[in-house]
């Protein structure tokens, strides 16, 4: 029992270090097994990020909703290190370049931000400001989990697109229906607790996530760490947008 608990804590710590800037003072030696187990706890990382956003939303209640939203965006970018926004940028440059699979993957490898990447980042940031201002704290909490669950949904129905290993290799190769279904159950329960009407944007976002994933697979034959980042950001925007229309 003690070994299982230690392994669980270690796997959660790995996910926190990789996907957030939450400081962890204890040093761990991670291996692939930790990463594989950590995938199950990926939505929990979304919950932690969402709780931070929720607290800031309520703490800044006395200022303009748009000022509060700007603070939320700054916090979101800081706590995530912009890791998924970087994937959004790279994927946008590649997918919308009009090239074949080889060209798209080459463009996505380039560390420079192109015109489509710049446009995607700008649109997403503006969308976050508008939608953070328009949605309640509970919805924003679920949004942060939605992004992580959408990654599980996308990874579980795809293969790794590149011949060489990258940041998303272990995630995509080890994310199965089990991890995806655990994520589905996790967000469903929390959405019902926060506001049962949130089930509508949750289901709609997962359907759209599947369609986007299929489109990307058609373009490059699979998914990568960058394309999962793209899915993460787009799914969160879609969730907030649909929530604004439904609630």
Tell me: the pLDDT tens digits for 222-235?
898 899 999 999 99
**Phi–psi pair at 160, nearest 5 degrees:** -80, 130
The three-class DSSP label of residue 160 is strand
Nearest to 213 by CA among 221, 111, 64: 221
Q: Categorize the per-residue pLDDT at 172 as very low, low, confident or very high, splitting at 50, 70 and 90.
A: confident
Of the pLDDT bands very low, low, confident and very high (cuts 50, 70, 90), residue 29 is low
* Contacts with 48 (C-beta within 8 Å, 6 or more apart), sequence order: 16, 20, 22
- Domain boundary assignment for the chain: 40-246
Cα distance between residue 176 and residue 129, in whole Å: 34
The least confident of 2-11, 93-102, 183-192, 208-217 is 2-11
Q: Specify which residues 49 forms β-bridges with.
A: none
Q: Are 15 and 83 in contact (CB under 8 A)?
A: no
Q: Cβ neighbours of residue 210 under 8 Å, at least 6 residues apart?
A: 153, 154, 157
With a cut of 80, say whether residue 23 has pLDDT above it: no
Which residue bears the tokens 């599947």? 210
The widest CA-to-CA distance across the chain, in whole angstroms, is 53
Neighbour count for residue 216 (Cβ, 10 Å): 25
Report whether pLDDT(98) > 70. yes
Question: What integer pLDDT is reported at residue 203 of this predicted model?
Answer: 97
d(CA 55, CA 51): 6
When pLDDT is averaged across residues 119-123 and rounded to a whole number, the result is 95
What gap in Å lies between CA 144 and CA 192, rounded to an integer? 15
Return the structure tokens found at 99: 């090239």
Query: If DSSP codes are grouped into helix, strand and coil, which group holds residue 223?
Result: strand
Q: Residue 193: exposed, middle, or buried by beta-carbon count in 10 A (0-12, 13-18, 19+)?
A: exposed
- Give the pLDDT of residue 14: 76
Take residue 48 and report the two structure tokens written for it: 């932690």
> In the 8-state DSSP scheme, what is residue 163?
S
**What is the rounded average pLDDT for all residues in the chain?**
89
Mean pLDDT, residues 35-43:
81
**The dihedral sign for the CA sequence 184, 237, 20, 175:** positive
Q: Average of pLDDT values for 83-101?
A: 89
**Poorest-confidence range of 9-23, 34-48, 62-76?**
9-23
């Amino acid at each position: 029992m003690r070994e299982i608990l230690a392994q669980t804590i270690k796997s959660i710590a790995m996910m926190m270090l990789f996907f957030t800037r939450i400081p962890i003072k204890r040093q761990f030696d991670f291996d692939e097994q930790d990463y594989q187990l950590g995938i199950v706890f990926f939505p929990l990382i979304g919950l932690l990020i969402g709780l931070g956003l929720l607290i800031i939303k309520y703490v800044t209640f006395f200022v303009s909703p748009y000022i509060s939203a700007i603070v939320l965006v700054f916090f979101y970018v800081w706590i995530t290190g912009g890791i998924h926004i970087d994937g959004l940028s790279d994927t946008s440059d590649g997918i919308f370049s009009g090239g074949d699979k080889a060209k798209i993957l080459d463009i996505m490898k380039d560390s420079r931000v192109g015109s489509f990447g710049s446009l995607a980042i700008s649109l997403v940031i503006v969308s976050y400001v508008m939608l953070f201002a328009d949605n309640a704290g509970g919805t924003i909490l679920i949004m942060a989990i939605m992004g992580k669950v959408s990654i599980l949904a996308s990874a579980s129905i795809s293969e790794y697109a590149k011949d060489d290993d990258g940041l998303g290799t272990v995630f995509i190769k080890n994310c199965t229906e089990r991890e995806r279904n655990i994520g589905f159950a996790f967000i469903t329960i929390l959405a019902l607790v926060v506001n049962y009407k949130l089930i509508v944007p949750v289901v709609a976002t997962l359907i759209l996530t599947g369609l986007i994933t299929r489109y990307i697979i058609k373009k490059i034959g699979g998914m990568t760490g960058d394309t999962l980042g793209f899915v993460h950001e787009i799914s969160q925007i879609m969730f907030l947008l649909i929530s604004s229309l439904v609630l």
